[in-house]
Structure 1
């Protein structure tokens, strides 16, 4: 370079490297795969579940979240700014009574109580080696009146002597095992006896299936009371003869010879009382029975 000449500086920009994308997509993919695994796991569990477990799962999702978390709907339905329902604002007994009455009237709560009672009965039967085989002769189902527990006959193990109301020893043990469990709920109970279509020689003119079914229902009532059942819980004892056979059963099938115990809802009990007194049933008629049930539930807690 000659003296006096300016140096020419050429600046060349280096091409910028592309930025790193980071690992966010990996986290998203991992979350997606975890969700898929959880989904397939749930589907597999459902496919292997028993009908009873599926019913319990469905009932769980039908229960409102506030009820499941708090055990009631106080936060959602309480219109009083002052806690409590009695003279003392700090005393919550009155308000608790109102909440219990609302809970008692909800069908889902009643089904939960009945489901728990059924589980207690099945557990007690399974725990007793002498009664374990009788589980096959028990039928549980929900009706409009309440939880129905049917004790059915078989040719191999009849519950009563043929044509008589004498209770078999294992039937006596079963009824006396049920008695204290039925006392756990304040609900009233209905007992009905049923026979098959085999008639007596004189038909309905003398001692017939009507009398036999009623006598067997009363014999069962006596065994329940002897086992500790509160007699005040009994609302109705009836003999139905052979007029109400089991569904899809031949009229002469031994399964029709059965005792049906119904743990009544408050509404069903009020309806039976109204009909027996010759008056129309109104929902308000069920309130006294619901109050009795709520008081008993509060004492149990």
Structure 2
């Protein structure tokens, strides 16, 4: 100003850089959902792998008939608290939950299991006899004997 020169204003040109308009950030949300689902799946598999057999049976029976099991309870709701097959403190047992002083209950459980096996054998024998009877009827009836090779019992 003393020399007579005019001061020129300083002009700063700022270039605005915009993001990539082609794909945005929606892929990050989809990827986060995928990772969360994989983590949940891993936790589910890990928990099912470390759950006792009785609890797995309870879970399976719940999904087979959820209202019955939730209202009435019973042995299907998970009857074991240990991953080991026998449960309890005595690791030599291989059936059900048994404490060291519970011999009477163990005998009762084994008796019930034997009765159930005998009933199953009796039912199998009855079904075999019924199958033989039906096969004889098919052979004796001339109309059915034509299709005997197509009937499976």
Q: Quickly name the TM-score band, shorter chain normalised.
A: 0.3 to 0.5
Tell me which of the two structures has the higher relative contact order, counting C-alpha pairs closer than 8 angstroms and 6 or more residues apart.
1
Structure in which a larger fraction of residues adopt helix? 2
The higher radius of gyration belongs to: 2
TM-score normalised by the chain length of structure 2: 0.38
Structure in which a larger fraction of residues adopt strand? 1
